[in-house]
Amino acid sequence: MSIAEDLPDLPPAARRVADLLAGLGHSGEVRMLADSARTAAEAAAALGCSVGEIAKSIVFRRADDDNAVVVICSGDNRVDATKVATLVGAVGKADADFVRAATGYAIGGVSPVGHPDDVVFLIDRDLARFDTIWAAAGHPHAVFPLTPADLSAWLGVEPADVRID
């Protein structure tokens, strides 16, 4: 039985994330919040943690191949597109349709797991300030706990400087 079968009230995308997490051996449970967690501030308020402990996913569109670039950033930081471009090539804004098509998730619920192989990831090194961080679980009301080390191991990416100074 999948972990999602144990959580029948999860929306389909959140159930998919719960199954992916179980497949990774992750023991953190997907949590549905009563209020929206579309923004880092909303998620932090609902969880009773600092905004920095929220691992928000910012999606860019890479110019040379149209691939999604997902930057997983500390909730209290803003992403510096110039630093991102230095690391992965020129990037532009990604609209809601692109985000859903390229990642499989809607804006406000983009999880760090469960993406197509052509998605490029960057991780904000400032997330290492925290023992536990919280990320979206495929739905604007769904989140799960993890560690910065989990994130790096799952994505095969070393953290980098991506924030605006």
pLDDT per position as a tens digit, 73-83? 999 999 999 99
Q: Is the pLDDT of residue 106 over 90?
A: yes
Question: What's the pLDDT score for residue 37?
Answer: 81
- Residue 26 counted as domain residue: yes
The rounded percent of the chain whose pLDDT value lies above 70 is 95
- Residue 41 counted as domain residue: yes
The CATH number of the domain where 98 resides is what?
3.90.960.10
Q: Is the pLDDT of residue 65 over 60?
A: yes
For the chain, how many structural domains are there in total? 1
Distance CA 128, CA 77 (A): 13
Domain region containing 18: 3-155
Question: What's the pLDDT score for residue 135?
Answer: 97
Query: Which residue in this structure is represented by tokens 């490029």?
Result: 120
Question: What's the pLDDT score for residue 2?
Answer: 35
Distance CA 6, CA 18 (A): 10
Q: Record the pTM.
A: 0.92
On average, the pLDDT of the chain sits at 93
Q: Exposed, middle or buried by CB within 10 Å (0-12, 13-18, 19+), for 136?
A: buried
- Residue 162 counted as domain residue: no
